[in-house]
Amino acid sequence: MANRPIAPHLQIWKWGPHMAASILHRITGDGMAFVGLGVLLWWLGAMAGGAETYATFQAAMGSPLGMIVLVGLSWAFFSHMMTGLRHFVLDIGAGYELDTNKMWSMLAPAIGILLTAAFWAVVLLK
């Protein structure tokens, strides 16, 4: 039997913001893929279906539940973009210092929230 290294167990790893940012990146990507694709296909189908079908889509997306979905999708987009930029910086070999990594892991989701709020402020106040 070969003397192979044993993978560390979950009890050994210490939870940190870098792990949360990485998991958030995956969750927001999946959310945009599934929910965003559904909304996009519904929107395209509504445009192809005519004025009445599009009015139904507008009413649904303009309802409180529809607005929650749209705000959630925009939050997922901006958070995914910020954690993606963090991953890009890590991929080029920078930002691995513990303090820097921790700071950017906490800032990425916060900046995503700020960008979402700014986006909706522009959309709703226009």
| C-alpha 119 chain-centroid distance | 15
Over the stretch 80-101, which tens digit does the pLDDT of each residue have?
A: 999 999 999 999 988 888 899 9
Residue 16 has a pLDDT of 85
Question: Does the pLDDT at position 112 exceed 80?
Answer: yes
d(CA 124, CA 126): 6
Taking 3-state DSSP, the helix, strand and coil percentages for the chain, each rounded to the nearest 5, stand at: 80, 0, 20
Q: Name the residue among 72, 120, 89 with its Cα closest to residue 21.
A: 89
Residue 28 has a pLDDT of 96
Listed in order, strand segments (DSSP E) in the chain are none
Question: Does the pLDDT at position 13 exceed 80?
Answer: no
Helix-helix angle 98-125:17-31, to 10 degrees: 40
pTM of the model: 0.84
Which residues are annotated binding-site positions? 80
Residue 5 has a pLDDT of 65
Inter-residue contact 105 to 17 (CB < 8 Å): yes
What structural domains and CATH numbers belong to the chain? 17-125 (1.20.1300.10)
Over the stretch 18-72, which tens digit does the pLDDT of each residue have?
A: 889 999 999 999 999 999 999 999 999 999 999 999 999 999 999 999 999 999 9
| C-alpha 81 chain-centroid distance | 7
Which residues are annotated binding-site positions for heme? 80
